[in-house]
Amino acid sequence: MDDNKDHKQLKTDYQSAFDTAEGKRVLADLQSAYYHRGSYLKDPYETAYREGQRSVIIRIMNLIKEDKNV
């Protein structure tokens, strides 16, 4: 399978997983815990850790928002 097909399938999988009532609740919880909070602290390691958590949520959000017909 080529990379483009892999990406399309992965996108479809994410959209399917997060398009259920349960998936929407899980995503809302993840956004609340890791996206809608400040990442920057005095400790640069803690900041990096929090930004890493936030980047996972951003990836999920970007994949499920992409054109569902592609």
Name the pTM for this structure.
0.78
When divided into structural domains, the chain yields a total of 1
Check pLDDT > 90 for residue 67.
Answer: no
The pLDDT tens digits for 18-34 are: 999 999 999 999 999 99
3 vs 7: CA distance, rounded Å: 6
Does any domain span residue 70?
no
pLDDT bin (cut points 50, 70, 90) of residue 2 is: confident
Kindly state whether residue 39 falls inside one of the protein's structural domains: yes
The parent domain of residue 10 ranges over: 3-65
Q: What DSSP state is assigned to residue 33?
A: I
Tell me which residue of 63, 65, 56 sits closest to 9, measured CA to CA: 63
* Token pair of 11 as six digits: 């996108």
pLDDT in tens, 33-59: 999 887 888 999 999 999 999 999 999
pLDDT at residue 70, rounded to an integer: 47
d(CA 10, CA 26): 18
